[in-house]
Amino acid sequence: MKIDLDDKITRFLVQEYVNKICHYSGEADLNFNVHKLIHTFDVVRIVQQLMKQTKPALPLKLQKQILNAAILHDLGRCYEFKDGIRLKNTDHGKVGAQLIRKKFPELKVEIQSTLYHNKLPSDKDPPECYPVLDYVRDADMLANIDYEIGHIDVFIIHIFGRNFQQVASPIIDDEIFQAVREKRSVYLAKIKENTLLTHGLWQLCWYFNLRTKAGKKHARQTHIFERFREIICEKLVPMTTPDKKNQTKLKKIIRQTFPDELFYK
């Protein structure tokens, strides 16, 4: 995908990120911002594919809003680090929305969509953002999983830091099983054991969050959730226990909990 800096929305996003990247204060914030900039254009690429797969075609004005919202959704991410330290409890949706409001106050739908994109879909979602939010959230999720399939080791470090061994236990939080039984995404507040495995598996439950027909079709055609489950089994499980028998048992539990059929409904 070619990035078009003649587009004022793209230019604004890239400028914010490049300024942060050029003034990095440590390896962690440099890597994070580079990664998030790449991620943004992965989301843009996927959202374009989803719109293309949507029949009948969406109105052009709506397509432009979806595209803008995809470009801007993680703008606030590049404000997550200060002096090389990742700030806890930063709501990147809120930060991004404030920045867009300042620069482009007329982009009301894109501002609201950025504000809500990192929250679970609910009836609190502003109605004027439908279906922009659905497309952005679906593309965001699919891009994240796609990335993790290819870079699970980098992902672990992004989430847990270099001391991830502390959470590399064979425990799977009960909330994962409950969420699958109820066919819903995981309630993070209910997680008691935030282990490596729990974290990987709660992202498998993101499947239940897919909102657009095109997003569901994309997931089925690319087998993205099945492939992610296999990465969890083959790469994450061996990190959690050296015992081969335990590894086999864990893989069996994961494959039984998340069978292929689950991702075809």
Residues of the shown chain interacting with Fe ion in the complex, contacts defined by CB under 5 A = 74, 140
- In the bound complex, what is the minimum distance in angstroms from residue 70's beta carbon to Fe ion? 9
The nearer residue to Fe ion, 16 or 74, going by C-beta atoms, is 74
What contacts 24+ positions apart, CB below 8 Å, involve 173-179? 173/198, 175/202, 176/201, 176/202, 176/205, 176/257, 177/257, 179/205, 179/208
The nearer residue to Fe ion, 148 or 173, going by C-beta atoms, is 148
- In the bound complex, what is the minimum distance in angstroms from residue 78's beta carbon to Fe ion? 12
CA 94 to chain centre: 16
Residue 265 has which token pair? 């409904």
Detail the DSSP E strand segments found in the chain: 81-82, 85-86
| Distance of alpha carbon 66 from alpha carbon 210, whole angstroms | 16
The nearer residue to Fe ion, 69 or 176, going by C-beta atoms, is 69
The nearer residue to Fe ion, 206 or 258, going by C-beta atoms, is 206
- In the bound complex, what is the minimum distance in angstroms from residue 254's beta carbon to Fe ion? 25
- In the bound complex, what is the minimum distance in angstroms from residue 72's beta carbon to Fe ion? 10
The nearer residue to Fe ion, 96 or 180, going by C-beta atoms, is 96
Q: What are phi and psi of 85, to 5 degrees?
A: -110, 135
Q: CB neighbours of 159 closer than 8 A, spacing ≥ 6?
A: 199
The nearer residue to Fe ion, 110 or 140, going by C-beta atoms, is 140
Q: Are 128 and 107 in contact (CB under 8 A)?
A: no
Residue 192: DSSP 8-state:
S
- In the bound complex, what is the minimum distance in angstroms from residue 40's beta carbon to Fe ion? 7
The DSSP result for 92-160, as a single string, is: HHHHHHHHHHHH-TT-HHHHHHHHHTTS---TTS-GGGTTHHHHHHHHHHHHHHHHHHH-HHHHHHHHH
Residue 15 has which token pair? 């400028």
- In the bound complex, what is the minimum distance in angstroms from residue 182's beta carbon to Fe ion? 26
The nearer residue to Fe ion, 141 or 156, going by C-beta atoms, is 141
Residue 189: DSSP 8-state:
G
- In the bound complex, what is the minimum distance in angstroms from residue 240's beta carbon to Fe ion? 27
